[in-house]
Amino acid sequence: MLTKNQSKRILRLNKKKFRTQEQMFVTEGIKVTQEFLDAGYELVEVFSTDLGYAQYSHAFVHISENELSSISTLKTPNKVLSIFRIPLPKPLDDSNLILALDDLNNPGNLGTIIRLCDWFGIRDLVCSPATVDCYNPKVVQSAMGSHTRVNITYSALEPLLSSSSNAMGTFMQGDSIYATSLPNSGVLVLGNEANGISENLNSFLDTKLTIPKFGPFKKTESLNVANAASIILSEWRRQSIEK
């Protein structure tokens, strides 16, 4: 049975302030929760209508569907909601491509980019401090468990870029990604949804890249940042295979 204190604690974790204080985050649904369990994340509590989760006896709380609905952020809750402890980030691997995000605001975009990193084999994702929290419930749901295979770090981007021999950024005007030899290692920066890459980062970039427009009118203002990430990472991976 769900207690008032448990309900309050879960709902508090929907806010970044309390996730930071408690160093915990929430997962919802069978698939997402199982990804974190399989990856060995520290389970704090698991609330479920399914008695199968009773195997986690130290953390299991059996609840009703109404109780699950009262603590869920989903329109259609899926049997389980869990609390995990946030792990410490691992050291960056500069022998591979590192993706960096400059002040992204949209949780859905960040979740999709985490999945893209997982898909294309990007181990390290570095987010500027102002980028949306990767443990925001919407990000966790959108990433669908890919957090467990991508090392996500929050840090100022200037030191990272200044120490990289291949610092690249994406712009509306720049060198075509299809005509540029993309390095196997380095740092690739994607900018804010509305404003692009911050001006203070420009001096740290060795290469400015763009996805060229192919339509006959070329009047499309911009690409969604997650769509742009998928195109660029696909081309980077294609080139790395062919080298």
Residue 194: give its domain's CATH number.
Answer: 3.40.1280.10
The 8 Å CB, 24+ separation contacts for 222-229 are 222/172, 224/109, 224/193, 225/104, 225/106, 225/109, 225/113, 225/190, 225/191, 225/193, 226/108, 226/109, 226/112, 226/113, 226/116, 228/170, 228/190, 229/99, 229/112, 229/113, 229/116, 229/190
Same domain, 230 and 114: yes
Q: What is the pTM of this model?
A: 0.96
Instruction: With H, G, I as helix, E, B as strand and everything else as coil, classify residue 39.
Output: coil
Number of structural domains the chain divides into: 2
Which two tokens mark 59?
């953390």
DSSP sequence for 184-242: SSEEEEE-BTTTBS-HHHHTT-SEEEE----SSS-------HHHHHHHHHHHHHHHHHH
Same domain, 120 and 234: yes
- Percent of the chain topping pLDDT 90: 95
Strand partners, 26: 83
227 occurs within a structural domain: yes
pLDDT, mean of residues 67-76: 96
Instruction: Identify the residue whose tokens are 């692009």.
Output: 196
124 occurs within a structural domain: yes
Same domain, 67 and 101: no
The pLDDT tens digits of the residues spanning 181-232 come to 999 999 999 999 999 999 999 999 999 999 999 988 777 888 999 999 999 9
Same domain, 107 and 217: yes
91 occurs within a structural domain: no
pLDDT, mean of residues 143-160: 98
The pLDDT tens digits of the residues spanning 74-102 come to 999 999 999 999 999 999 999 999 999 99
What per-residue confidence (pLDDT) applies to 215?
Answer: 85
Under a CB-based contact definition with an 8 Å cutoff, are residues 92 and 154 in contact? no
Same domain, 110 and 33: no
Residue 135: CA atoms inside 13 Å, Cβ hemisphere, count?
28
What per-residue confidence (pLDDT) applies to 36?
Answer: 98
What per-residue confidence (pLDDT) applies to 218?
Answer: 77
What per-residue confidence (pLDDT) applies to 65?
Answer: 97
Under a CB-based contact definition with an 8 Å cutoff, are residues 222 and 193 in contact? no
169 occurs within a structural domain: yes
pLDDT, mean of residues 14-27: 98
Same domain, 67 and 8: yes
Q: How far apart are CA 162 and CA 204, in angstroms?
A: 6
189 occurs within a structural domain: yes
What per-residue confidence (pLDDT) applies to 160?
Answer: 98
What per-residue confidence (pLDDT) applies to 220?
Answer: 82
- pLDDT of residue 14 exceeding 80, the answer is yes
| Burial of residue 98, with CB atoms counted within 10 A of its CB: 0-12 exposed, 13-18 middle, 19 or more buried | buried
Looking at 40, 55, 85, which one is the last position of a domain? 85
Q: Which domain holds residue 80?
A: 4-85
Same domain, 101 and 41: no
| Burial of residue 174, with CB atoms counted within 10 A of its CB: 0-12 exposed, 13-18 middle, 19 or more buried | middle
- pLDDT of residue 150 exceeding 90, the answer is yes
30 occurs within a structural domain: yes
Same domain, 66 and 128: no
Under a CB-based contact definition with an 8 Å cutoff, are residues 178 and 235 in contact? yes
Same domain, 13 and 129: no
Same domain, 143 and 214: yes
